[in-house]
Amino acid sequence: MAQMDIPEAARLIEASPDFRLLRRVPPPGDWPLQSASSETRQGVFVDTETTGLDPDTDEVIELALLPFEYERDTGAVVRVDADAALNAFREPSFPIPLESSKIHGINDEMVKGQIIDPERIKAIIGPAHIVIAHNAAFDRPMVEKHWPIFEEKHWACSFAEIDWKAEGAGSAKLDYLLWSRGWFHEGHRALSDAEAALFLLTLPLPTSGKLGLSALLECARRQLWIVRAEDTAFEQRASLKARGYRWDDGEGKRVKAWWIMTNDPQAELDWLRTDVYGGDRDVTVFKAPATSAVLVTIMVGVANG
Range of the domain at 141: 20-220
pTM: 0.81
* pLDDT tens string 59-106: 999 999 999 999 999 999 999 999 999 999 999 999 999 999 999 999
**Whether residue 210 sits in one domain with residue 238:** no
1 occurs within a structural domain: no
CA 288 to CA 295: how far, in whole Å?
Answer: 7
**Whether residue 265 sits in one domain with residue 165:** no
* pLDDT tens string 124-167: 999 999 999 999 988 999 999 999 999 999 999 999 889 999 99
* pLDDT tens string 173-189: 999 999 999 999 987 78
**Whether residue 238 sits in one domain with residue 134:** no
Last residue of a domain, one of 172, 197, 220: 220
Domain count, the chain: 2
**Whether residue 275 sits in one domain with residue 216:** no
**Whether residue 230 sits in one domain with residue 161:** no
